[in-house]
Amino acid sequence: MTKTKFKRLPRHIGVIPDGNRRWAQGKGLPKEDGYQNGLDPGMMLYELCVELGIPELTFYGFTQDNTKRPAVQTRAFQRACVDAVDMLANRDASLLVIGDYESPLFPPQLMKYKQRKTFGRDLIKINFLVNYGWKWDLHHFMNEDSTINSGSVKIKRNVFQTIASRDISRIDLIIRWGGRRRLSGFLPVQSIYADFYVVDDLWPDFQREHFYDALNWYENQDITLGG
Amino acid sequence: MTKTKFKRLPRHIGVIPDGNRRWAQGKGLPKEDGYQNGLDPGMMLYELCVELGIPELTFYGFTQDNTKRPAVQTRAFQRACVDAVDMLANRDASLLVIGDYESPLFPPQLMKYKQRKTFGRDLIKINFLVNYGWKWDLHHFMNEDSTINSGSVKIKRNVFQTIASRDISRIDLIIRWGGRRRLSGFLPVQSIYADFYVVDDLWPDFQREHFYDALNWYENQDITLGG
């Protein structure tokens, strides 16, 4: 299956890789063992996106909500995110990590991706949400001056210019693995008009057909942006 | 089918009544004729919610995005929203209409619902989004002082206290008719953790089974609020 199969592709795909803990439990493993099994699916998805020429891909790593879980799980998903970013840094992508950098729960190894860094041939923009919180994202505009100087006058900034995740563009298609039909705080502003596709299989059971099914479904949606 | 059938009900349901124009086209009617056929479904849904004791219900009336459509359609959905609110005002509910009141596209007949008004036995809270815009809603906090006085100190307000739709609570279940799997700007803050159920049938073809199917599905979802 190649690029020619699709008539219309999303420019930006958001990925919610859910179901790692359920997968581990299903194998009789401790819940926290699931996350490392989510690394290969992420790399496979990266490769499929590059092959199709998808310009931007955002992974939902972990959230501030998630860090309320048992410490052994929190350490496991922190570790998995660091590993995933390390793996992608060896490929052809520009990487940006977004989340509450000031919290001790943000892995210090990822601080260097606070500004986007480019690797290899820079074939795709990848955003990784790490210690991300939707409140943290939206509150950002209350912590800043909401006006900008334009010549001699101050003009109001719009919401896209003031949220913490302002460097992440509007999302066309969100694919969530693990069967749940909810956004769970995933980039509320960028997700406003996104089409939302749910894969019932768990993220560590990723298959390329999940992704192609989502793209096939997507190209049959009409895009109105609310109009 | 009665209340006893459900073990766990949502406290707040959001309704996206999509598909009115497609319904009209399917009947060989002009697109704008669809909206009036959405009134009876709305009343049926109101009655089903009251019967089950659902405390709060929010209808997605029309948005600022929608008003970019042809004027004949805009007039038709404005009219349908006024009629819907009038019908509900004859029942047992407290009604609040939320949207950009300052725009000429907001129907003046609905200005009196800018503050919640209670009718009859006040059995359910109903919110109606009319000339609503997600940017209008979120921008609200940039047009106000983001601090509040608490005794002698100023404290930061949180996002829930400063959005325009602050009187609408968190949504548990969103039901969208008409097959599309997207939020289209529907209350981004209140929808953060909502479970999202899609009915393929068009809104004027509403059947009570759609609603019961959504509730059956909902009670089998685990609620984690991101945790």
The pLDDT tens digits for B103-132 are: 999 999 999 999 999 999 999 999 999 999
Question: Residue A144: inside a domain, yes or no?
Answer: no
Asked if B160 reaches chain A (Cβ–Cβ under 8 Å), the answer is: no
Entry field: residues in chain A = 227
Residue A154 has pLDDT above 60, yes or no: no
Domain with B166 in it: 8-218
Strand partners, A173: A13, A195
Question: Residue A150: inside a domain, yes or no?
Answer: no
Question: Residue B223: inside a domain, yes or no?
Answer: no
Q: Which of A136, A191, A192 to mutate to test the interface with B (most CBs of B within 10 A)?
A: A192
Report the chain B residue with the minimal C-alpha distance to residue A132: B226
Short-list B105, B39, B96, CA closest to B78? B105
Work out how many domains chain B is built from and give that number.
1
| Contact between B184 and A226 using a beta-carbon 8 Å cutoff | yes
Q: Which of A18, A171, A181, A196 to mutate to test the interface with B (most CBs of B within 10 A)?
A: A181
B37: alpha, beta or left, given left = phi > 0 and alpha = psi -120 to 50?
Answer: alpha
- Residues B92 and B89: their CA atoms lie apart, in Å, by 7
**What ipTM was estimated for this complex?**
0.90
Please report how many Cα atoms fall inside a 13 Å half-sphere around the Cα of residue A42, on the Cβ side. Answer: 30
- Residue B206: both structure tokens together: 């509403």
Question: Residue A139: inside a domain, yes or no?
Answer: no
- Residues A15 and A59: their CA atoms lie apart, in Å, by 5
Q: What is the DSSP secondary-structure string of A166-222?
A: TTS---SEEEEESS----TTS-TTTTTT-EEEEESS-GGG--HHHHHHHHHHHTTS-
Lowest-confidence range among A56-60, A152-156, B54-58, B91-95? A152-156
* Residue B162's pLDDT band (cuts 50, 70, 90): confident
Residue A60: strand, helix, or coil:
strand
Question: Residue A143: inside a domain, yes or no?
Answer: no
Short-list B65, B194, B192, B176, CA closest to A188? B192
What DSSP character marks residue B59?
Answer: E
Question: Residue B224: inside a domain, yes or no?
Answer: no
Tokens 């109001």 identify what position? A156
What mean pLDDT is predicted for residues B219-226? 82
Question: Residue A98: inside a domain, yes or no?
Answer: yes
CATH of the domain at A49: 3.40.1180.10
Question: Residue A226: inside a domain, yes or no?
Answer: no
Asked if A67 reaches chain B (Cβ–Cβ under 8 Å), the answer is: no
Other C-beta atoms lying within 10 Å of the C-beta of residue A161: 12
Q: What is the pLDDT of residue B154?
A: 55
Strand partners, A117: A95
Asked if A160 reaches chain B (Cβ–Cβ under 8 Å), the answer is: no
Short-list A117, A158, A19, CA closest to B135? A158
Asked if B144 reaches chain A (Cβ–Cβ under 8 Å), the answer is: no
Contact (CB, 8 A) for A23 and A204: yes
Kindly report, residue by residue over A12-50, the tens digit of the pLDDT.
999 999 999 999 999 999 999 999 999 999 999 999 999
